[in-house]
């Protein structure tokens, strides 16, 4: 291709804008990267790595907007999110199409991604009852104490590639509904659906400067962690980056919450409903090409359930691998060529380390999408702790199967794994399920539910190495994360003789 052709092609590729102070602006950065359709390798747009000056401008706009936004009546804030949820519903198909084009997941799953975020927006519309304080009357004679949940100031969010709609919507709606202003840093791999959601948020009435967006990678994230005017950082992504973000942000005096990597075990008891269990397990292992932090990537077959592998493999072979836009697709491509190569490398490692490759999904032929980053469903049995495919998060369509003699052995295995994001038990026994829910040391537990992500009436509750920071990213916990609790203790003097005299004790009287 000639240089002039290259130049012409580059000029027609759209650029992803920054949002600063209510304006969508072109970055002045000299560093950009392509956003690529993972099924075709077509370049959809280019995203900038924003400069330090652009981050400063975004934070300054958010700090300025906070002065008025923090005192905006609750009803005004709530009505913006009522309108926003309506706009998201009206644009559901468009949002899903953008998401599938840049991320690869199927259209139905892309709608699910948007929907799980929409649920948080609906919850944000209920901010009036969520952000109420408490009051105790007469804590001493004529003295009342009450709490105010006050916004912190400028908050920031850093999001991963795998849920480019849901996870930004975990963050900015609740931060803004509680009276904060926000700087969002979406994944540089698929920021387009996030930006469409941001446009709709402005259309819903979020004022200038209350929501800002910068793009980039390591440098801009470090800039967010260090910035003196940012009060809290919410991060979702890998354990490696999340640990760094948590340490750097808290060292700089910020609140931080980091939801990170996982290895989610599905424990299958021999009394489980076999048909339902295998279907649930495969959906949770291979949906979104295994690129979910809550995917059931690890099966622990207990006792005679170990005989179910042949049926598991037979069912997995019926799953359809194709581009996410094609009807009937079960498994779309991985996000990038690098992700595909990494997963293929881990499969090779599994074979080399002695696990049994029951189903090999490498190099599937997908007619019409020969350039796509596809890997088909892959199943290993005979997996043990110490093997790389057990010790690492694979984040691809690979299910590793371990064996356990008893429920106690299975619980011991799960609890010995450092990760604590999610787990599930499949059983028809209430006693086994109850024992599991009591003894398992994992934040989110499913009982015959393979991906137990709580709805926003609750909070996301990953634990141990999957999470840093005490409070989860949505639900009731996030109200506390995004606010400072202030207690006010008050007395009004209406009688000059009551409490007469100087009180030098600590007691109220
Ligand atoms: P990632 O950690 O590579 O990227 C997350 C964010 O960090 C992105 O915005 C990225 O730009 C930024 N980043 C990347 N490298 C950085 C660096 N060196 N320094 C500072 N910032 C950096 O994660 P990903 O690949 O986008 O997402 C997949 C991971 O996210 C998986 O591990 C998955 O389990 C995890 N995840 C966890 C949850 C959860 O709730 N626990 C949810 C979704 C995804």
The residue contributing the CA closest to ligand 1 atom 26 is: 160
Distance, in Å, from the CA atom of 412 to the CA atom of 432, rounded to the nearest integer, reads 14
255: β partners: 232
Report the separation in Å between the CA atom of 261 and the middle of ligand 1, taken as the mean of its atom positions.
8
pLDDT in the model for residue 495: 73
pLDDT at residue 14 tops 50: yes
Query: Is the model's pLDDT at 480 over the cut of 80?
Result: yes
**In angstroms, what is the span from residue 104 Cα to ligand 1's centroid?**
17
Reported as a single tens digit per residue, the pLDDT across 298-331 is 999 999 999 999 999 999 999 999 999 999 999 9
The half-sphere exposure of 257 on its side-chain side, counting CA atoms within 13 A, is 24
Ligand 1 centre from 260 Cα, in Å?
7
Instruction: Give the list of residues 6+ apart from residue 294 with CB closer than 8 angstroms, or none.
Output: 262, 264, 284, 421, 422, 444, 451, 452, 453
| Minimum CA distance residue for ligand 1 atom 6 | 160
User: Over 70: is that where the pLDDT of 38 sits?
Assistant: yes
Give, rounded to a whole angstrom, the gap between the first and last alpha carbons of the chain. Answer: 86
Torsion-angle region of 185 (φ positive above 0: left; ψ -120 to 50: alpha; else: beta): beta
**Global pTM?**
0.96
Point out the ligand 1 atom lying closest to the alpha carbon of residue 237: 30
Neighbours of 205 (CB within 10 A): 15
What confidence score (pLDDT) does residue 483 get? 98
- What are the angstrom distances between the C-alpha of 421 and each of 16, 92, 387? 32, 28, 20
389, 419, 422 from 414: Cα distances, Å: 15, 9, 10
Is the pLDDT score of 3 beyond 50? no
CA-based nearest residue to 413, from 250, 277, 300, 278: 300
Distance CA 320, CA 447 (A): 27
Cα distance between residue 395 and residue 216, in whole Å: 22
- As a whole number of angstroms, the distance between CA 212 and CA 360 comes to 44
Per-residue pLDDT at 150 exceeds 60: yes
> What pLDDT score does 498 carry?
65
Dihedral sign computed on CA atoms, order 353, 354, 360, 361 = negative
- Flag the least confident range among 38-42, 474-478, 489-493, 500-504: 500-504
Residue 494: band (very low, low, confident or very high) from pLDDT cuts 50, 70, 90: confident
Q: By three-state DSSP, how is residue 43 classified?
A: strand
Half-sphere exposure of 207 (CA within 13 A, CB side): 18
- According to DSSP, the β-strands at 230-236 and 298-302 are unpaired
Distance 222 CA to ligand 1 centre (A): 14
| Residues near ligand 1 (Cβ within 6 A) | 158-163, 185, 187-188, 217-218, 221, 236-238, 241, 244, 259-262, 293, 393, 395, 421, 460, 462, 466
Instruction: Kindly report, residue by residue over 233-255, the tens digit of the pLDDT.
Output: 999 999 999 999 999 999 999 99
Helix crossing, 218-226 with 52-69: angle to 10°? Answer: 40
In whole angstroms, how far apart are CA 139 and each of 189, 488, 489, 491, 507? 55, 12, 9, 10, 11
Nearest Cα residue to atom 16 of ligand 1? 218
Active site residues: 293
Whether the CB-CB separation of 332 and 106 falls below 8 Å is answered with yes
Reply yes or no on whether the pLDDT at 53 is more than 80: yes
C-alpha gyration radius of the chain: 25
Ligand 1 pocket test: pick from 103, 241, 334 the residue with the most ligand atoms within 8 Å of its Cβ.
241
Q: Cβ distance 161 to 186 under 8 Å?
A: no
pLDDT in tens, 171-183: 999 999 999 999 9
Question: CA nearest 376: which of 458, 327, 448, 317?
Answer: 317
Please check whether residue 72 is in contact with residue 237, taking contact to mean a CB–CB distance below 8 angstroms. Answer: no
Which sign does the torsion angle of CA 268, 272, 274, 279 carry? negative
499 band by pLDDT with thresholds 50, 70 and 90: low
Section 383-403 average pLDDT:
98
State the number of CA atoms in the 13 A half-sphere of 364 facing the CB: 27
Average pLDDT on 375-385 reads 98
How distant is the alpha carbon of residue 263 from its chain centre? 15
């Amino acid at each position: 291709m000639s240089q002039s052709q290259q130049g012409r092609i580059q000029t027609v590729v759209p650029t992803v804008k920054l949002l600063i102070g209510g304006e969508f602006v072109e970055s002045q950065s000299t560093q950009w990267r392509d956003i690529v359709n993972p099924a075709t390798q077509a370049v959809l747009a280019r995203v900038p790595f924003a400069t330090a000056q652009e981050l400063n401008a975004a934070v300054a706009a958010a700090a300025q907007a906070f002065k008025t936004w923090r005192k905006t009546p609750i009803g005004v804030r709530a009505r913006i999110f009522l309108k926003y949820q309506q706009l998201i519903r009206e644009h559901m198909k468009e949002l899903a199409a953008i998401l599938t084009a840049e991320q690869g997941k199927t259209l139905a799953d892309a709608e699910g991604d948007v929907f799980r975020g929409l649920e948080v927006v609906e919850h944000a519309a209920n901010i009036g009852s969520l952000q109420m304080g408490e009051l105790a009357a007469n804590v001493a004679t004529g003295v009342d104490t009450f709490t105010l949940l006050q916004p912190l100031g400028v908050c920031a969010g850093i999001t991963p590639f795998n849920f480019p709609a849901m996870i930004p919507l975990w963050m900015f709606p609740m931060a803004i509904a509680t009276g904060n202003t926000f700087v969002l840093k979406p994944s540089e791999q698929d920021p387009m659906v996030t930006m469409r959601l941001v446009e709709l948020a402005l259309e819903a009435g979020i004022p200038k400067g209350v929501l800002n967006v910068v793009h980039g990678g390591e440098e801009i994230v470090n800039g967010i962690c260090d910035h003196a005017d940012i009060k809290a950082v919410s991060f979702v992504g890998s354990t490696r980056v999340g640990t760094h973000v948590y340490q750097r942000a808290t060292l700089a005096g910020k609140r931080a919450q980091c939801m990170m990597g996982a290895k989610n075990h599905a424990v299958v008891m021999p009394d489980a409903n076999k048909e339902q269990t295998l279907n649930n397990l495969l959906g949770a292992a291979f949906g979104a090409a295994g690129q979910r932090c809550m995917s059931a990537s690890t099966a622990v077959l207990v006792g005679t359930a170990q005989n179910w592998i042949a049926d598991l493999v037979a069912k997995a072979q019926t799953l359809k691998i194709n581009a996410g836009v094609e009807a009937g697709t079960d498994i779309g491509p991985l996000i990038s060529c690098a992700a595909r190569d990494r997963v293929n490398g881990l499969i090779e490692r599994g074979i080399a380390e002695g696990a049994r490759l029951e189903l090999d999904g490498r190099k599937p032929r997908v007619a019409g999408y020969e350039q796509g980053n596809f890997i088909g469903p892959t199943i290993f049995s005979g997996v043990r702790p110490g093997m790389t495919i057990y010790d690492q998060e694979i984040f691809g369509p690979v299910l590793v199967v371990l064996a356990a003699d008893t429920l106690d052995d299975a619980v011991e295995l799960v609890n010995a794994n450092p990760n604590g994001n999610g787990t599930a038990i499949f059983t028809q026994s209430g006693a086994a399920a109850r024992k599991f829910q009591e003894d398992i040391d994992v934040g989110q537990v499913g009982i015959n539910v393979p991906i137990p992500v709580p709805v926003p009436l609750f909070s996301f509750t990953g634990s141990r190495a999957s999470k840093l920071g005490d409070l989860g990213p949505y639900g009731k916990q996030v109200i506390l994360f995004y606010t400072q609790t202030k207690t006010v203790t008050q007395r009004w003097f209406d009688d000059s003789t009551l409490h007469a005299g100087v009180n030098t004790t600590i007691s109220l009287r």
